[in-house]
Amino acid sequence: MFPIPSLEVGSRLTEVQAEGLYFCLENRIVYVRETEIMLTVKEFDIFALLIMNPRRVLTYDMIIDLVWHEDLDY
């Protein structure tokens, strides 16, 4: 089973669990089949963006803008 993070009473977590995947936004944790997946900060941010928008198509430029918050037009 996936670890249960210790939190203050009444706090809510943004979690996704499906078919062997566990994702917790606030604790920045990802498990696949009970194995923790170590991600860099940006990798986690990209994964979070994608998992929190499951039916939305995101272009490369949108991901760059939303994750890096920079305008990379030259």
Please report, for the chain, the start and end positions of each structural domain, with discontinuous segments joined by +.
15-68
**What pLDDT, in 10s, does the model give residues 9-54?**
456 889 999 999 999 999 999 999 999 999 999 999 999 999 999 8
CB 47 within 8 A of CB 38: no
**What pLDDT, in 10s, does the model give residues 53-69?**
989 999 999 999 999 87
Say whether pTM exceeds 0.85.
no
State the architecture of 15-68 in CATH terms: Orthogonal Bundle (1.10)
What are the CB-based long-range contacts (under 8 Å, 24+) for 60-69? 67/42, 68/42
Looking at per-residue pLDDT, the higher value among 5 and 42 belongs to 42
**Spatial strand order in the sheet of 29-32:** 15-18, 21-24, 29-32, 35-36
